[in-house]
Structure 1
Amino acid sequence: MANFLQPPRLRIGEETEEERRATWLELFYDLVFVVAVSQLAHNLHDNVTLSGFFGFVALFIPVWWSWIGSTMYANRFDNDDVGHRLLTGLQMLAAAALAINIHHGLSDSSAGFAVCYALGRAVLVAEYIRAGMHIPTARILTNSYATGFAVAALCWLVSAFLPIPWRFGFWALGLIIDFATPLICTKLQIQLPPHPSHLPERFGLFTMIVLGEAIIAVVDGVSEQKWDVFSAIAAFFGLGIAFGLWWVYFDNLGGTPIQKARTEGKVGPMTIWLYTHLPLVIGIAATGVGVEKVLLSEQQIALPDAVRWLICGSVALCWLTLGILHRLGVIRYCKIRAKYRIAAVPIVLAIAIFGKGLLPIAVIGLLALVCLVQVVQDFSQSRPTTRLSEPEI
C-alpha cells in the first residue's frame, strides 16, 4: 500500500528511452469517452444538417480536449498513487456528467454541459498544482498550465449563468485560452517533452474509440432494418471504409514528432501532430454516423443529399488531415503517401457534388473503393505493421 502513497513523480527524462504503455487506469478512464463519443454521434444522427454538423463539432471539441488534458498530464506525472487515482475518478465523474449533458448540449442542457466541463478542468488544475508541489524541476510548467486552465475553467463556469448566445461566447473564449496555454509554454515543453512511445499509443487508443463508432454504425444500421442483398453489400462497404482508415492511420503512427522535440528542440511538429488529430477524429466519428444513415436509407431510392454530403465530407476530412500529417512528416514522412491522401479529397468531394441521384450502395461503394486504393498504395510502400512505426528517411 505504501507504494500508492507516494507523491507524483516525473515520468519522463531518464525513463524516456524505455517502452511505456497505457495503464489500466487510463484504459478505464477511456470508457467514459466511449460513451461521450457515442452521445455526440447520436446527436448528429438526429440532425443531419449543416447546423447539426457544426453543433456536433462544437460539442466534440471540449470533449476531446478534456481527454487530451488528462492524457498529457498522465504522460508526464502519472505515478498511479492513491491521490492520482482519486482525482482521476473525479475526472471520470465530470466526463460522465459531460456526456449526459451532450443531449441538448447547445440548448436546454448547455448550462449543465458548461459546469461539468469546468469541473473537469478544475480537477486537472488541482493535479498540476499537486505535481508542482512535489517536483521542483517541473514547477514552472505546472504553474503555467494550472493558471491557463484555471482561467479557462472560470470562463466556462461563468458562462453557465449567462443567457444564450453570451454563454457560447464565453465557451469560445475558454477554449481559446485552453488551446493557447500549451502553445505559450512551448519553451517549457522542450525541457519536459512527452514520452515518445506512450503518447502515440494514447492517441491511437482515442482514434480506436471513434473507429469503434463506425463499427457500431454498421451493426446498428443493419440490425434496425430487414436484411437484403443491398443492405449486406452496403454493410460490407461500410466496414471497408473503417478498415481502410484504420490501416492507413495505424500503419503510419509513430513517435517521430516527440523525438524531434527531444533531440532537436522542435516543438512545432509535435504541436501540429497533436492539434491535427482533432479534425481527424471528428471526421472519423462523423463518417460512422454517415455510414449508419446510408445503411438506414431506402436502398432502392437515391441517397438523400444531406446524408451524401455528410459521409463524403467526413471521409474527405479524414484523408485531408492524414495527407497533412504525412506531408509535414508528423506521422510517417512520405511525399507519395501525402499525394495519394490529398488526391483522394477532390475525388470524394466530386462524389458528393455529382452523385445526386445515386443509390446509397453506389455512394458507399465508391467511397470504399477510394479507401481501398489508399490501402493498396500504403501496402505497396512498406510492409504492414501493427507496431509504432519508425520514421522513413
Structure 2
Amino acid sequence: MTNFLQPPRLRIGEDSEEERRATWLELFYDLVFVVAISQLAHNLKEDISFSGFFGFVVLFIPVWWSWIGATFYANRFDSDDVLRRLFVGLQMLTAAAMAINIHHGLGESSPGFALAYALGRAVLVAEYVRAGIHIPSARPLTNHYAMGFAIAAFFWLISAFVPIPWRFALWTLGVIIDFATPLTGRKFQIKLLPHASHLPERFGLFTIIVLGEAIIGVVNGVSEQKWDILTVISAMFGLIIAFSFWWIYFDNLGGTPIKTARQEGRLAIANLWLYTHLPLVIGIAATGIGVEQVLLSQSKLALPDPQRWLICGSVALCLLAISILHRTGVIRYCKIRSQYRLVGAVVLLAIAIFGKGFLPIAVITIVAVVSAVQVVQDLYQSRPTTRLIDPEI
C-alpha cells in the first residue's frame, strides 16, 4: 500500500495493450453485489407476474449501473492509496444500503433505496473530480462525467422526498441522464477508451455473480421438496442451462469491440457491447428463479403460465443479448453463432406463447436442449476442419 496522498493515475493510454487483471480491492467490492443480486432474485421469486418482473428490472438497473460506474472508473483511473480504499469502502456501504432497501424498493423502502443510490453516485463524482485535478489530460472526460452523474444523483436525491408516482418519474429522469452521460461524451472518450483486457474480465466476473443465482435456483428448488425422478432430471437440466450459458458466454468473451473502437474510432460498437450486457445479466438472474419455479411445479399437471413465461422468456432474453454481442465482433464466426442464438430465442418465445398445458419437465427439457444446442454448435464450428474450409465464417 502506498501513502495517503498518492494521486490516482491514468491506467490506459500508453500502457493500454498490456495485460491487466482485476485487483483484490475490485474483487472485494464485488461481494456486496452478490448480496444485492440475491435480494433482487428474492423479490422476483415473491412475484413472478409481468408486473413483478417489471419491478425486478426497475430495481436491477440502478444496482447494475452502480457497479458499472465503479468499474469504469477503476478501469481508467486507479491507485491503492488510503483515500482510494476509503472511497471504495463508502461505495460498498451505499451498495449494501441499496441491497437492504430492495425488498420493498418500490414501496415503503423506495426513499432509502433512492438515497443510497444517490450517495453512491456522489462518491463516484468525488472520485472523478479528484482524478481530474491530478490528471489534466483526462480533465475534459472527468468534468463531463462528474457533471452528468451529479445531475442524475440530484434527481435521485430529491426523489426520496416526493410522493409516488412522482418519485419514480424522477428515477426515470435520473437513469436517462446516467445512461446518456457516457453516450454524449464521445469526443472525450475516444482518446481514453477502456482497457481492452481488464474490462471484459470485470464484466465476466459480474456474469459469474448472476450465474450463481441459476445454481442457487437449482439448489433451492430441489431442497424445498421431496426428491423423485422428475425432480432429479429437472435439476440436471437446470444445471445444463447454467453451464451452457457459461460456455457460450466465456468462450466468446474478449476485448475486440474496445480494440475496434480504438483502431477505427467506432465507439458505437463498444457502447453496444456495454449496454447489451444489461439484458443479458437480467435474463441470467431471472433464469435462476425460473428454474427454481419449474422444480417447485413438478407436482402440477401443467406448468402455470407465469412460470412458463419466466423460464422461457428469461432464457430467450439471454440468447437475444448474446446474439447481439456476437454481432459486435467479439470473435471470429460471430455471424453464424449470432444466428443460432437468435433462432434459439425464437423457439423459446414460441414455447412461452403456445406451450400452455406443457408439463414442467417438458418445458425445462426444451429449454435445456435449446441451450445445449448452442454449445454443440460452437464446438462443431470450432473444429479444425471447419477453420480449414473457411476461416472467415
TM-score, structure 2 normalization: 0.96
1:120 equivalent in structure 2 = 120
Would the alpha carbon gap of residues 306 and 91 (structure 1) be closer, same or farther in structure 2, given more than 3 Å must change? Answer: same
CA displacement 1:216-244 (0-9 Å, x = unmatched): 11011101111111100000000000111
- Structure 1: which 4+ aligned runs deviate by more than 6 Å? none
**Residue correspondence of structure 1 range 307-386 to structure 2 within 5 A:** 307-330=307-330, 334-382=334-382
Matches of 2:331 and 2:178, distance apart in 1: 25
1:76 equivalent in structure 2 = 76
How far 1:301 moved relative to its partner? 2.1
Would the alpha carbon gap of residues 333 and 132 (structure 1) be closer, same or farther in structure 2, given more than 3 Å must change? Answer: farther
2:179 equivalent in structure 1 = 179
How far 1:299 moved relative to its partner? 3.3
Would the alpha carbon gap of residues 114 and 72 (structure 1) be closer, same or farther in structure 2, given more than 3 Å must change? Answer: same
Root-mean-square deviation (Å): 1.5
1:108 equivalent in structure 2 = 108
Q: Which runs of 5+ in 2 are unaligned?
A: 385-390
**Residue correspondence of structure 1 range 170-249 to structure 2 within 5 A:** 170-249=170-249
Question: Percent identity among equivalent residues?
Answer: 74
Q: Which amino acid aligns with 2:30?
A: D
Would the alpha carbon gap of residues 188 and 307 (structure 1) be closer, same or farther in structure 2, given more than 3 Å must change? Answer: same
1:46 equivalent in structure 2 = 46
2:252 equivalent in structure 1 = 252
CA displacement 1:182-211 (0-9 Å, x = unmatched): 011111111101000000000011011100
Q: Which amino acid aligns with 1:224?
A: E
- On the 8 A contact 1:121/1:149 being kept in 2, the answer is yes
Q: Which amino acid aligns with 1:241?
A: I
Matches of 2:268 and 2:332, distance apart in 1: 16
Matches of 1:4 and 1:127, distance apart in 2: 15
Matches of 1:300 and 1:115, distance apart in 2: 43
- On the 8 A contact 1:222/1:231 being kept in 2, the answer is yes
Would the alpha carbon gap of residues 44 and 203 (structure 1) be closer, same or farther in structure 2, given more than 3 Å must change? Answer: same
Matches of 1:86 and 1:106, distance apart in 2: 30
Matches of 1:119 and 1:156, distance apart in 2: 9
2:279 equivalent in structure 1 = 279
Q: Which amino acid aligns with 1:289?
A: I
Matches of 1:187 and 1:115, distance apart in 2: 32
**Residue correspondence of structure 1 range 16-165 to structure 2 within 5 A:** 16-165=16-165
Q: Which amino acid aligns with 1:354?
A: F
Matches of 1:143 and 1:333, distance apart in 2: 40
**Which secondary structure state, in structure 2, belongs to the residue aligned with residue 128 of structure 1?**
helix
Moved more, 62-71 or 181-190: 181-190
How far 1:331 moved relative to its partner? 5.4
How far 1:300 moved relative to its partner? 4.6
Q: Which runs of 5+ in 1 are unaligned?
A: 385-390
Q: How many residues align?
A: 387
- On the 8 A contact 1:325/1:331 being kept in 2, the answer is no
CA displacement 1:127-155 (0-9 Å, x = unmatched): 00011110011011001100000000000
Matches of 1:96 and 1:208, distance apart in 2: 19
How far 1:392 moved relative to its partner? 6.7
Q: Which amino acid aligns with 1:157?
A: L
- On the 8 A contact 1:299/1:361 being kept in 2, the answer is no
How far 1:43 moved relative to its partner? 0.2
Matches of 2:32 and 2:374, distance apart in 1: 32
